[in-house]
Amino acid sequence: ELGVSISEMAGRLELARSIVRSGRSVCVLTGAGISTDSGVPDYRSPGRPQVKSVQYNEFTRYHAHRQRYWARSMQGYDFLHGSAPNDGHKAVATGQRKGAVASLLTQNVDGLHQKAGSSEVVELHGSIHEVVCLDCGNVTKRSDLQTILKAMNADFIKAAEEQSGASAALLGRLARPDGDSIIEVDYSGFLYPPCAPCGGLLKPHVVFFGENLPKERAALSVDLVENADVLVVAGTSLTVWSAFRLVRRAAERGTEIVVVTRGPTRADDIIKPELRFSESATDVLNELFTSE
């Protein structure tokens, strides 16, 4: 941070570390910023292109919107599926194993906390690695659907490469945090399958914009935050209400809150400045949970 001396930063880190280590019950809440060191782009970093997010009503109502989503998802999913956890994810997993982290909530759908060894991860917005049928509720693996999508759309894949001038691998690296790839081509010929058991409508098992969190998951997240005496927030601007309300609730209860996020957050006016870090989430999480 500009204007912060090395000695002051060291003092603030030591303060945060002592608060975390003396906590009876530490809850960690993470967002897309924790996965950027794994090569997964976030939504709001400077320089990121502004892309219209998928809206639930559009996806469920319009065939053309589903074609666009599944086409872009097919291009981006392999990259996201192959991403590896970074030292920030591993630090949180270490904290869990040592008993320093009592609960873990994430806005991310990438599954990297689980890959790092974390258990009992509450995925607020679901998992990109699952697909759900909106008619019968059947849940299947996204990787299985990926195989089907590629087989159904060999001609589309070739045409997309020709239209965009980029290879499938490069298009995949344009993935967003939800696996959607930033490509604009003609989607009108894209094919996607119905639910195998019932013929119903398939949807990624994530919470789209305009869609409510499942009530049980929302209630569990509130309970975990209310049972914590320390809340560590990493890699999220807290723009989304489902996450901001948790931090606001913690602040109302007098919970100690440590925030580690590049750029401004929605909660900056309700947290202590000395516990607000704009450094790398990976670096600060390592300081909090792995350094002796």
Active-site entry in 89, 113, 125, 205 = 125
Residue by residue, DSSP assigns 166-226 as: --HHHHHTTB-TTS-B------TT------TTT---EEEEE--BT-PPPHHHHHHHHHHHH
Is 125 among the residues known to form the active site? yes
Non-local CB neighbours of 64 within 8 Å, separated by 6+ positions: 187, 188
Could you tell me which of 95, 143, 147 has the C-alpha nearest to residue 121? 95
Residue 36 near residue 235 (C-beta atoms within 8 A): yes
DSSP secondary structure letter of residue 270: G
Residue by residue, DSSP assigns 243-257 as: HHHHHHHHHHTT-EE
Residue 257 near residue 233 (C-beta atoms within 8 A): yes
Torsion angle, CA of 247/251/252/253, rounded to 10 degrees? 100
How many Cβ atoms are within 10 Å of 266's Cβ, its own excluded?
A: 16
DSSP secondary structure letter of residue 55: B
Residue 29 near residue 233 (C-beta atoms within 8 A): yes
CA 1, CA 279: separation in Å to the nearest integer? 7
Q: Could you list the active site residues?
A: 125
